[in-house]
Amino acid sequence: MKRIEQYLSLIKFSHTVFALPFALLGFTMGVFSIHDNPIGASGFERLKDYATLHPLVFIYIIGCMVFARSAAMAFNRYLDREFDAKNPRTAIREIPRGVISPSSALRFTILSSILFMGAAYLINVTCFLLSPIALLVILGYSYTKRFTALCHLVLGIGLALAPAGAFIAVTETMEPAVVLLALAVVGWVSGFDIIYALQDDSFDAANGLYSIPASLGRKNALMLSRILHAATVALIFTAGYLFGFEVLYTVGAAIFSGLLLYQQSIVKSDDLSKVNIAFMTANGIGSIVFAAFAISDLIFLS
């Protein structure tokens, strides 16, 4: 049990709360996009009909998301182990402390990647063919901080695969509304990752690592983060309009937008004491609440 806890800590399993709600939303949007709404049929009945025809797809989608994220995080910890050991903020992580060996983390990455591709194969051919591309993005992210300050955007693209991939798993197609929702995730994640990276701007600059805060300075980095979050808000509302969502989606989007504004208001260039509140609390609550309202909109109002 302790060993399991160590690996869950290695991959920061609690951070699954960021992508999982959007994966659930992408799945639900997919189900409702492929089924006409018979007169009198409720949202629950439409979900039930899909589950009857495809009983395991939902489980495979969750498996894909968990395995992909586990591979990405373990590989990031493996690749960054020397930098993590030097940085006082990250020296307590499992590999620098010797709790998990680098070779074990690499084996865990390989196993998770294989399981991800296996789950994708069980969904449909399209997902299987796209799975290597997804792995290239999420594993490749770990290299980007070595050569570009745009690493935050690559992380955002990695998490944006959650709603897009779940929608493709159900429909084997893509719709403009889902593309905009995925782009909103890119803006949201890259915006809050810039905030999180403020903590390491001096370390990054001193060790030849790239990040927006290290490249632009804290004030400019925060400004860019706010621009990205403003774009996120616009994209989320536009996606909802295109897909035909109603009032519950709007309420969820408004709450999500308010939490973005809140996290931007509590982090200052000269005061990073509330970065963790902005990073984990505001974003974790925001993703759950938004997805819950959006899914409820489809179930109760479609």
Locate the domains of the chain by residue range: 2-34+41-301
- Segment 235-252 shows an average pLDDT of 97
- Assigned token pair, 282: 């505001």
% residues pLDDT > 70 (the chain): 98
> For residues 246 and 226, what is the distance between their CA atoms, to the nearest angstrom?
27
> For residues 213 and 197, what is the distance between their CA atoms, to the nearest angstrom?
7
Which tens digits make up the pLDDT trace of 207-230? 999 999 999 999 999 999 999 999
2-34+41-301 homologous superfamily: UbiA prenyltransferase (1.10.357.140)
pLDDT at residue 39 is higher than 80? no
pLDDT at residue 277 is higher than 80? yes
- Segment 185-193 shows an average pLDDT of 97
pLDDT band per the 50, 70, 90 thresholds, residue 87: very high
CA 79 to chain centre: 20
Backbone angles phi, psi at 42, to 5 degrees: -85, 165
The per-residue pLDDT for 135 is 97
Instruction: List, in order, residues 6 or more apart from 242 with CB less than 8 Å away.
Output: 175, 176, 177, 180
pLDDT band per the 50, 70, 90 thresholds, residue 13: confident
241-275: b or e for each residue (b if 16 or more CB lie within 10 Å)? eebebeebbbbbbebbbebbeebbeebeeeebebb
HSE toward the beta carbon, residue 120, CA cutoff 13 A: 28
- Segment 268-277 shows an average pLDDT of 91
Q: Which of 27, 26, 1, 116 is nearest to 70 (CA)?
A: 116
Considering the chain, what is the average pLDDT of its residues? Answer: 93
Residue showing tokens 């955007």: 153
pLDDT at residue 40 is higher than 80? no
- Assigned token pair, 284: 């974790």
- Segment 268-278 shows an average pLDDT of 90
Q: Which H or E run includes 76?
A: helix 57-79
- Segment 46-51 shows an average pLDDT of 82
- Assigned token pair, 35: 């089924």
**78, exposed or middle or buried, with CB in 10 Å at 0-12, 13-18, 19+?**
buried
> For residues 26 and 71, what is the distance between their CA atoms, to the nearest angstrom?
21
> For residues 79 and 277, what is the distance between their CA atoms, to the nearest angstrom?
27
Record the pTM: 0.95
CA torsion sign for 278, 281, 282, 287 is positive
Three-state SS for 302?
A: coil
> For residues 21 and 252, what is the distance between their CA atoms, to the nearest angstrom?
12
Q: Which of 60, 74, 20 is nearest to 185 (CA)?
A: 20
- Segment 56-65 shows an average pLDDT of 95
Between helix 102-123 and helix 57-79 the angle, nearest 10°, is 160
